[in-house]
Amino acid sequence: MEKERQIEQQRVAMVRHEISNQLLQAQTVYDKAQKERSLVEKNYVQNARINTFEIDDRMETNAEIQQQKQLVAKNIENEQILNKQIKELKQLNNSPYFGRIDIQDSADDNETLYIGTASLVGSNQEFIIYDWRAPISSIYYNGRLGEVEYETPMGKQTTNLKRKRQFTINNGIIKNMFDTNELVGDEILKSVLGEHSDEYMHNIVATIQKEQNDIIRDTKHDLLLVQGVAGSGKTSAILQRIAFLLYHSRTSLNADQIVLFSPNLLFSRYISEVLPSLGERNMRQLTLAEFLAQRFQGLTVETLFERYEKKPTLSKKQRNIQQLKEQASFMQQIKDYVASLNSKQLQFTDIMLGGTTIFNHTEISEIFANLPTTMKTPQRFFETKNKLIKRLNKLVNKESRSDWVLEKIDILSDEQYNAYLENKQRGLFQEISDEEHYIAHQIVKQHYAVVYDALYNNYFIDIYAQYEDFLQLNLKSALPLFVEHLELHKLALEDCAPLLYLRDLITDSGRNHTIAHLFIDEIQDYTLSQLIYLHFAFPNAKLTLLGDSEQALFNPLVSNSSLLDSLEKTLNIKKTRTIALNKSYRSTTEITNFMKSLLPDGDKIQAFTRSGNKPHIVFANDNTAAEQALYVHIHKALENNDQIAIITANMQESNQIYNKLNKRFPTTLLTDADRVLPKGVIILPIYLAKGLEFDNVIAYDVSSKNYSHPSSIGILYTICSRAMHHLILISIEELAPVLSTIDPNLYIKEQASTF
């Protein structure tokens, strides 16, 4: 093998030499392109300044400026392509590839292929490195030695896989090299997983596992539901999937057409480096709270976290109402309600400017009522809007002749006058009166801009009053609380999806047809009504939904099959596929075995063989003893590590611990507005730790006081599954029932000393 290693090392050197050459060339072209652009830009600024008094000159200048503008845009595009190329080459220079496959199509047709994060083509058009996303590269992830199949644009192909080799190359030096018959050899994976947690998630391109590869390369389904146990690589796989899709459909898909809903802002930042590390631009990323806040400006929308914090205080009646609003049937009721709306029911509202009513709600209502009843509500609404805009245009025309406007023109400075002319050059009008009329029109249009805005944005319907009407007819008991919230400019989370659905169905707006892929992480935290709305809001998007029903913090636990069943029925999607990931990679075997024993059906979870310490359960008789144990474990962890996460059931607990710790340690209490995970001691409630992982985790306090309800098992499981290497649970007085039933061999029992 040593000889082989030398040969491979020589090849790495040869490839790096080629990369350096290409890098130099690309850099030269890039520098040239940049110089050219700045020259064109300079020219453009000078031309734009040219005196434009003579009409002929002006027209010529305009054409020239347009041409230069296009030139600049083209140059920028070129530069972006070159920039991407340079980045890819730099990355390849450090680690040109991670895999090699030797294949044999026929007896005398042997081929050796190297696989890396991007492809590298030599001067004779030969592939020195294959991109991991190329069809042939899938053999590396999928095939055992022998006859293997792979998909190509021309259909299935078969070949004979003779050898599979894995590398870890750093700075051009082969650190590790294995020949393997495993799907992807455990050795390299083990060493990757043994590393410390990082501020940013890493890509898994070199060690993608077969089931993950299925998720990544699926292009046949419109709904892909990934149900994976904690730490099974769901998030990692979908980020790789995004990179794959961008490559697979590179002529028709760009990163702006992909939206990922992530559970919180910390997570958004945590995963933000994965796509760039694969040479791709990041998709659009947002949390549900951000999405809703954008749509309900002026109101304070309850977040999932606020709701979680107040859950214990809700009455049974409130909880029932909440659940009703979150079901698919409620959204169907909204749909039926809109379909059967009559003109009298529509809650039109006055459009005002300053203190003056421009359109009165009765006038709007009459316009709507006079439209043919054969038209559907959204069509009638649209026609009403058109008529209102026409009336406003008429008003603007009429008003532009009024005295106040003419007086205003008289006192305009040259600068203001030109600003009103916008792109229209002085003198393009035949008569001076035409120019003045144009200016007058502009002035009045500006005066009525807010009214135009209100019409375009459909503000002539009071959607909240409409929802009240709907509740009055369909769920009367929910009305008082909704009204009470609204008076305080607040909106409960469960009302958001139905309200948006109602608004969009009536106004035929709010939908984004350009999004081609919608990814939702932590799907178990979404209600059916939210999913129905998101599917409606992004009608052309294929869905990739991933979650772990066991990590349901906010909603009742739903099994995989019933979730898929409801999604298929309610979203009406035909081509669906579910993929289960049962192997957990994040934590050591000991931690995985511990956390799986918390679940009734935890047996399905397989631990990846990476050994470490058993978790500790610390039993404390009182608060003082628990705090002492906490200090000791923090000290110990910080000796070898620069970060430790203390995860609690809720914010109140986090707050209390923070007050105790912040004088002793560099401590940060995280909130839902935080994006950065600092070093030192970090304290956070479990919902903010979603999707994240830490070397060291302390779960505080795991007593029955916090975790006696059966639904809290999911919370404990989620907390424990955040730990990669070390897990400590501290309990005060009576241990949570679920923990007291765990096999004592799975953890180390520790008694906190009382001082």
Ligand X SMILES: Nc1ncnc2c1ncn2[C@@H]1O[C@H](COP(=O)(O)OP(=O)(O)OP(=O)(O)O)[C@@H](O)[C@H]1O
Q: Which two tokens stand for residue 722?
A: 């955040």
Q: Is 232 annotated as a binding residue?
A: yes
Output the smallest distance, CB 749 to ligand X, in A.
26
Output the smallest distance, CB 207 to ligand X, in A.
4
Of 495 and 693, the one with the shorter C-beta distance to ligand X is: 693
Q: Which amino acid is at 235?
A: T
Output the smallest distance, CB 591 to ligand X, in A.
12
Q: Is 356 annotated as a binding residue?
A: no
Output the smallest distance, CB 615 to ligand X, in A.
16
Q: How many CA atoms lie within 13 A of 325 on its CB side?
A: 26
How many other C-beta atoms are found inside a 10 Å radius of the C-beta of residue 135?
Answer: 15
- Say if residues 510 and 457 touch (Cβ distance below 8 Å): no
Output the smallest distance, CB 548 to ligand X, in A.
5
Of 302 and 693, the one with the shorter C-beta distance to ligand X is: 693
- Say if residues 448 and 417 touch (Cβ distance below 8 Å): no
- What one-character-per-residue DSSP string does 637-687 give? HHHH-SEEEEEESSHHHHHHHHHHHTTTS-EEE--TT-----SEEEEEEGG
Chain residues in the site for ligand X (CB under 6 A): 189, 192-193, 202, 204, 207-209, 212, 228, 230-236, 548, 585-586, 691, 693, 721
Closest residue to ligand X using C-beta atoms: 233
Q: Is 235 annotated as a binding residue?
A: yes
Helix (H, G, I), strand (E, B) or coil at 359: strand
Of 599 and 732, the one with the shorter C-beta distance to ligand X is: 599
Output the smallest distance, CB 150 to ligand X, in A.
19
Of 262 and 377, the one with the shorter C-beta distance to ligand X is: 262
Output the smallest distance, CB 690 to ligand X, in A.
7
- Say if residues 325 and 498 touch (Cβ distance below 8 Å): yes
- What one-character-per-residue DSSP string does 79-142 give? HHHHHHHHHHHHHHHH---SEEEEEEEETTEEEEEEEESS-EE-TTS-EEEEETTSGGGHHHHH
Whole-angstrom distance, CA of residue 136 vs CA of residue 159: 10
Of 280 and 504, the one with the shorter C-beta distance to ligand X is: 280
Output the smallest distance, CB 271 to ligand X, in A.
9
> 222 preceded by cis ω (within 30°)?
no
Sheet of 576-581, strands arranged across: 284-286, 258-261, 517-521, 542-547, 223-228, 576-581
Output the smallest distance, CB 46 to ligand X, in A.
53
Phi and psi angles of residue 601, each rounded to the nearest 5 degrees, phi first: -110, 40
Helix (H, G, I), strand (E, B) or coil at 445: helix
Sign of torsion, CA 495 497 498 499?
Answer: positive
Instruction: Kindly provide the b/e burial profile for residues 566-580, where b requires at least 16 CB atoms within 10 angstroms of the residue's own CB.
Output: bbeebbeeeeeebbe
Phi and psi angles of residue 420, each rounded to the nearest 5 degrees, phi first: -65, -30
Of 97 and 482, the one with the shorter C-beta distance to ligand X is: 97
Of 504 and 525, the one with the shorter C-beta distance to ligand X is: 525
Element (H, E) at 690: none
Of 190 and 424, the one with the shorter C-beta distance to ligand X is: 190
Of 138 and 212, the one with the shorter C-beta distance to ligand X is: 212
Output the smallest distance, CB 33 to ligand X, in A.
37
Nearest in space to 9 (alpha carbons), one of 130, 173, 176: 173
- Say if residues 150 and 86 touch (Cβ distance below 8 Å): no
Nearest in space to 114 (alpha carbons), one of 156, 153, 166, 160: 166
Q: Which residue has the tokens 């007593």?
A: 703
Output the smallest distance, CB 730 to ligand X, in A.
22
Q: Is 315 annotated as a binding residue?
A: no
Q: Is 612 annotated as a binding residue?
A: no
**Cβ-proximal residues to 515 (8 Å cutoff; 6+ apart), any chain:** 257, 258, 259, 538, 540, 541
Residues in the chain: 755
Phi and psi angles of residue 155, each rounded to the nearest 5 degrees, phi first: 115, -170
Q: Which residue has the tokens 């898929």?
A: 564
Output the smallest distance, CB 305 to ligand X, in A.
17
Binding-site annotation, residues: 228-235
Binding-site annotation, residues for ATP: 228-235
